[in-house]
Structure 1
Amino acid sequence: MVELRPLGVRCNIQCQYCYQNPQRDAGNYADDYDLEQMKAAIALEGGPFALFGGEPLLVPIKDLEQLWAWGLARFGHNALQTNGTLITEDHVRMFKQYNVSVGISVDGPGELNDVRWHGTIEKTRESTEKAEQAISRLCQEGRPPSLIVTLHRVNASPQRLPQLYTWMSELEAMGIRSVRLHLLESENEVVRTKYALSIRENIAVLLGLLELQRSLPLLTFDLFTEMRLMLKGEDQNTSCVWNACDPYTTEAVRGVEGHGQRSNCGRTNKDGIDFGKGNVPGFERYIALYQTPQQYGGCSGCRFFLMCKGHCPGTAIDGDWRNRTEHCEVWKAIYTRLEADLLAEGQGTLSLSSQREYLERALIDSWSQGRTGVLPR
């Protein structure tokens, strides 16, 4: 999927934890765009595309309509990731007319969404209500959005968890079928101290949501689905965080900016610089992590390396993509629980397979030869 960012990281709200904030702090905003240059770049990438930001609905209606009409004619469908606060009846009309799959990033109702700041607490709550109304409206139209929910101290602290669980049940009843859960990516120590959950709290939240999943048969937390698939060696349809992302080429994110320039996923732009996309992927991070002792930021000896691979470089220890994720202990705990669940169901896992070390070496060999590694079959 191509991520189209006509206005780069420009946004109408100020999420306090946003991984794009270093780019905003550095003044790396986009002021304009060229529709034809963007279309040409998408065509070169091979499409289809998803409108992304910042906040892509800052693009005027007439230009959105041109892009989506072209996308429908060329690819048969369109996609959008938005914070949901700017959705109008015109947008809803276009979503239906141009077959736009909508994703909304929101962390909960009311106070649970306060970290998605909009200048004042009153304006923030008003914007959250607009996002909630948009979710309800799309469900009523038979086009339920998927959601991205980031877990942090404001929506998933022990005091707020009951509200979060209730909201998830309400979403299922409303018609929502897919929720992607994110752990907080902390861009600096201030964000981490103020908003990040502890390792123990993150584990408790995820295990609680895993248990809640059992009572919500129509709602899927795709995080747990993907982790189970990885344990079984079925990585074909899993997301980038489990699949050895190279921060300089980000295979899963082929970005196109407002004047057709290529870009990467911004999660490793810790210095506020959007580096140009490399032409050849490198897997040095994963080769090194496999051999580096865990006490030095590596993954050596971890039985979940085949599944996790050090996770997303954007969440690496100390903001240094060469290290494994700072959420390592959380993912180990969840993989351990899912591993036990699979064993109880009579299914095997790669993590406990007698072939695990052979498969690890095969993956390392593939990366050493510059090839994207998939789990050998």
Structure 2
Amino acid sequence: MSIELRPLGVACNIACQYCYQNSLRDVAATTPKFDFDAVTSAADAMDEPLNLFGGEPLLLPLADIERLIRFNCERFGRAPLIQSNGALLTPDHVAVFGRYGAKVGISVDGPGALNDARWAGSLKRTRVSTAATLLAIDLLLDAGLCNGIMVQIGRANGVGERLDELCTWLAELDRKGVPSARIHVLELDGTAARAAHGLSVAENVIAVTRLVELAKGFQTLRFDISSDRRDMLMMDDEAVACTFRACDPLVTEAVVGLGGDGEPHKCGLTDKEGIDFLKADEPRHERYLALYHTPQAYGGCHDCRFFLVCKGQCPGSAIEGDWRNRSDNCEAWRQLFAHAEAELVAEGSMPISIHPRRPEVEAVLVDAWSRGENPTLASLRGTLGLDLAGSQP
């Protein structure tokens, strides 16, 4: 576990039109002040290392960033990871990061027009910002400090010729040595953002499926969306994304957050009201108990064979922004899991979604949730003695 530090809250140098933090920005009167002593005291008390997030963490003066990196190295023995849109990164940043081995992940949706949803105030400024982001990737690669990229799939980069361009660019990044890409099915809040940037179920499935097939020929670049679905279906969930792990929207176990004033927060994906809610004291699993029993016609997941592996997906992507519902992207995920399921069956495996003992596993997991526990599927596979590798249960 590590701490997600937003040193300047959700302040950012650009204005991504689909950003889940926009509801927080809409009500923010000022940018919060950064208090180094408060942040480091909190991290020390929590006994967890820092990672730099945002908003945009590179808005923080470089001297303060270096102080945070040095603190992390001295207190926890490693440099923080930094997630940035990269547009503000300079050779001076790279020099500082290189002294400590601090790696940077870049949030970008592609070159040129593919990145236009990451708006910088005008089309000209947006394209300049995107060019700076692409240069940042090259600077980080040259220094051995590129941790990977994070890509949102939307209308600007996920259909027709734009999807072709995205594939060409990702292949170029593979040749350059970018190690990983987190591919997101876009989480959208509000009808305006959905109309401008959202894809249909079929478009999402086509885009993700094509990217997964493309990645099979890559040498270095790996997509989490390729491995996570297969791992979940084989009950190998120790290292998958948090969206598959029954996240409590009031605790968000995967995110231990701090603001620049040292105050704690949770993952902002579920803060739809513009309120940066504090974390609850301990996780509970009412959402997943409810989804398991609620008919699909009413926003639940009852009788879905992929419930064990999907769990209604991220509460931040729930229907109508209400985390009690399953994901608004449910049908896309259903089809994507079905594709991965078919691949595994063709390879001779028996994924849990079609295993005759699936109801037994569901019952054990639901019972654990009712007792306040959230075991991994991997642990249940071992406890129940399930063999999914062969074609026979």
Quote how far apart the aligned CAs of 1:239 are.
Answer: 1.4
Aligned letter for 1:313?
P
Contact 2:91–2:139 (Cα < 8 Å) also in 1: no
User: Which residue does 1:80 correspond to in 2?
Assistant: 82
User: Which residue does 2:340 correspond to in 1?
Assistant: 338
Quote how far apart the aligned CAs of 1:295 are.
Answer: 1.0
Quote how far apart the aligned CAs of 1:60 are.
Answer: 0.5
Aligned letter for 2:349?
Q
Contact 1:268–1:321 (Cα < 8 Å) also in 2: yes
Quote how far apart the aligned CAs of 1:141 are.
Answer: 1.7
User: Which residue does 2:305 correspond to in 1?
Assistant: 303
SS in 2 for 1:180: strand
SS in 2 for 1:65: helix
Structure 1: 4+ residue segments shifted above 6 A: none
Contact 1:48–1:71 (Cα < 8 Å) also in 2: yes
Contact 1:7–1:29 (Cα < 8 Å) also in 2: no
Q: What is the correspondence of 1:23-34 to structure 2 with a 5 Å cutoff?
A: 23-27=24-28, 29-34=30-35
| 1:268 aligns to 2:285 (yes or no) | no
| 1:245 aligns to 2:247 (yes or no) | yes
Instruction: Give the TM-score taking structure 2 as reference length.
Output: 0.94
User: Which residue does 2:370 correspond to in 1?
Assistant: 368
Quote how far apart the aligned CAs of 1:150 are.
Answer: 0.1
Quote how far apart the aligned CAs of 1:335 are.
Answer: 0.8
CA distance in 2, matches of 1:301, 1:63: 52
CA distance in 1, matches of 2:371, 2:144: 47
User: Which residue does 2:43 correspond to in 1?
Assistant: 42
Alpha-carbon displacement from aligned partner over 1:159-213 (angstroms, at most 9, x marks no partner): 3111010001000011111000011111100000111011110011011111111
User: Which residue does 1:317 correspond to in 2?
Assistant: 319
User: Which residue does 2:391 correspond to in 1?
Assistant: none
Contact 2:111–2:169 (Cα < 8 Å) also in 1: yes
Quote how far apart the aligned CAs of 1:29 are.
Answer: 4.7
Percent same amino acid among aligned pairs? 46
Q: CA RMSD in A?
A: 1.1
CA distance in 1, matches of 2:305, 2:30: 42
Quote how far apart the aligned CAs of 1:101 are.
Answer: 1.9
Instruction: Give the TM-score taking structure 1 as reference length.
Output: 0.98
CA distance in 2, matches of 1:342, 1:152: 28
Number of residue pairs the alignment of both structures matches: 377
Alpha-carbon displacement from aligned partner over 1:108-147 (angstroms, at most 9, x marks no partner): 0011001100011111100100000010111112223310
| 1:287 aligns to 2:281 (yes or no) | no
Q: What is the correspondence of 1:195-206 to structure 2 with a 5 Å cutoff?
A: 195-206=197-208
CA distance in 1, matches of 2:31, 2:226: 36
SS in 2 for 1:150: strand
Aligned letter for 2:4?
E
SS in 1 for 2:171: helix
Alpha-carbon displacement from aligned partner over 1:240-291 (angstroms, at most 9, x marks no partner): 1000111111000000111111100000111100111110111100000000
User: Which residue does 2:349 correspond to in 1?
Assistant: 347
Aligned letter for 2:135?
Q
User: Which residue does 2:55 correspond to in 1?
Assistant: 54
Quote how far apart the aligned CAs of 1:348 are.
Answer: 2.0
Contact 1:5–1:51 (Cα < 8 Å) also in 2: yes
SS in 2 for 1:145: strand
Alpha-carbon displacement from aligned partner over 1:268-319 (angstroms, at most 9, x marks no partner): 1111001111101111000000001111110001111111100000000011
Quote how far apart the aligned CAs of 1:72 are.
Answer: 1.1
CA distance in 2, matches of 1:75, 1:350: 39
Quote how far apart the aligned CAs of 1:89 are.
Answer: 1.2
Aligned letter for 1:239?
A
CA distance in 2, matches of 1:107, 1:246: 28
Contact 2:117–2:156 (Cα < 8 Å) also in 1: yes
Task: Please list every run of 5 or more consecutive structure 2 residues that lacks an aligned counterpart in the other structure.
Answer: 383-393
Deviates more, 1:169-178 or 1:339-348: 339-348
Contact 1:72–1:99 (Cα < 8 Å) also in 2: no
User: Which residue does 1:115 correspond to in 2?
Assistant: 117
